[in-house]
Chain A
Amino acid sequence: MTLVVGFDTATDDVAVALLRFGTGSSSELVAESSTGARGDERPRHAAELLAELEAAVEPVGGWSGVDLLGVGVGPGSFTGLRIGVATARALAQALAMPVVPVATLAALARGIGERTEARGRARLAVLDARRSQAFAALHGPADEELWPPLVAMPGELAERVAALQQPPLAAGSGAIRFRDELEAAGAEVLPDADSAHRVWARQICLLAQAGRPARPETIEPIYLRPPDAELWLERDTR
């Protein structure tokens, strides 16, 4: 029996889950929570992540009962990701806990794959990257990664989608935001109210259990975009 804690802070949500793996491939969800930002206020990652994690592990006797940690590494909000990765790295440092970094878009795609409509189809995970851009990744019918995480303008993303042989099933905050562009390119976007648009930490647990732990100090957010200052420098020296 293996207890896996997973969490993700790449989006406005603070997603936390505790999954118990039994023999074979069976697993049981012990705890799962996802708190979103309220209204227009800034995301509450700093205030909520650690409290949610402590609440999740309390029923199993605290951290000593936990075998593995999965952390969503983005792409997504830079500040949110740093809070998540710093938390995972500190837990690893304090408790010598193995940590598996999981791409947030892979967790999102795995959730899309649980929809009946997804059978035999590719899953397109899209997050709103602000500045009118999208973070996206494409996974195949067996969850295999077809496009690694990328950042693109909605027009470029639509072109890539239009070039696919089969229309993918899409979800995520970016799929809602760029619904028109994606649907025009042939993708099917799940209805706005579908829970597959959000990142659920049980998917992080499942991918972590199937993945390989990394040395904690090597775990880094998937930023995809350089800091603005780099862009200024490049422009200045051109």
Chain B
Amino acid sequence: MILGGRRASGRNLILAIETSCDDTCAAVIDGGRISSNVISSQASVHERYGGVVPEVASRHHLQLVNPVVGAALSEAGVELGDLDALAVTRGPGLVGALLVGVTTAKTLAAATRKPLIGVDHLHGHVAANFLEPEPLEPPFLCLIASGGHTLLAGVVDGGGFEVLGQTLDDAAGEALDKGARLLGLGYPGGPAIERLAVAGDPESVEFPVAMARDPGLDFSFSGLKTALLYAIRKLEEGELTERRADLAASYQAAVVEQLVAKLERALEPGEWVAVALGGGVAANALLRERAGRLCAERGLRLKLVPGELCTDNAAMIASAARFLEPAPYPEYLSWDALA
């Protein structure tokens, strides 16, 4: 497979480890095919804190990382010795969490004298699009929206991406989480808001659209959150229960509207042949529908990254690693996390 002139390396069998946030992940890929993709989510652990607590996440990663790596190898039917290379997320993310993955990957690689590939987490989200089935060929636009990131990336080859826009404050998923908290809903907030929004009127409450009209490609969601807070404060006692669905629907629509407005603007130069949606927020039905309509109008392919590759996972890290230069033993011995 040739991607924008940059060819995936001859290395085929790659084990990748990803521990940048609250999921402990390991995967084996063989070329562009996923042999195993193991994700041990700590979401239920962090639910009681209403968000990810770094020290709690780091402790869990340490407990889980070896069993998860073992499961990824055995599900793929390979042993460490069979691998062509190992790969690991070096950043960005929570430094203590990243260090568990980096230390484990470095040590497994050194003990078996294998090369190691350090991967940028966001490059991983972009590279999820290169995996089978139906790998996407550049050039394409990639919108990654999750609790941790909001990124609009231009992708012309496998080895990297250009940041066209990113959030100036909260991530899109974070905005949904915070909105859900203000509305008295659970964590994670995105799915909770989406469920409630079905019964609400998205045009009943007006939210600021300044950022959607801003000519740049960066995002900002903190103003929306403040607007929601004021909208809730303006309500009479007992009115919140009654208006909750309308508020959820309007708030969700405002978040999606901004994402789609920036996507539309980024498409204008016309050099892209497809749009890819990734990250946890890509599961949002309204976002999928609006992006789908936009692509249909422009005659572009819309790639929806499958669910298990949308949220954090190690298959996407292995996929990015295929296009990067491996560091041979012993070059990586002193690698640190790049938080």
Contact = CB atoms under 8 A, between A and B. Distances in A.
Given A51-B330, A227-B56, A229-B49, A93 B100 contact: no
B164 interface: no
B65 interface: yes
Interface string B102-118: 11101110111000000
Contact of B99 (A82, A216, A221, A229): A82
B139 interface: no
A78 B53 CA distance: 14
A212 to B, nearest CB: 20
9 contacts: A46-B99, A46-B103, A51-B330, A51-B333, A51-B334, A78-B96, A82-B96, A93-B69, A216-B66
Main secondary structure of the interface of A (DSSP, over half): helix
Contacts of B56: 227, 229-230
Interface in A30-51: 46-48, 50-51
Interface in A102-138: none
Given A82-B100, A227-B56, A229-B55, A91 B107 contact: yes
Interface string B39-80: 000000000110001011011001101110110000000001
Given A82-B96, A233-B49, A93 B108 contact: yes
A94 B58 contact: no
B133 to A, nearest CB: 31
B107 A50 contact: yes
B337 interface: yes
A63 B104 contact: no
Interface of B: 48-49, 53, 55-56, 58-59, 62-63, 65-67, 69-70, 80, 96, 99-100, 102-104, 106-108, 110-112, 330, 333-337
B179 to A, nearest CB: 22
A95 B111 contact: yes
Given A91-B111, A229-B56, A50 B106 contact: yes
A7 to B, nearest CB: 12
A227 B111 contact: no
Given A78-B96, A227-B59, A86 B65 contact: yes
B107 A87 contact: yes
A46 B66 CA distance: 18
A79 interface: yes
A47 B333 CA distance: 7
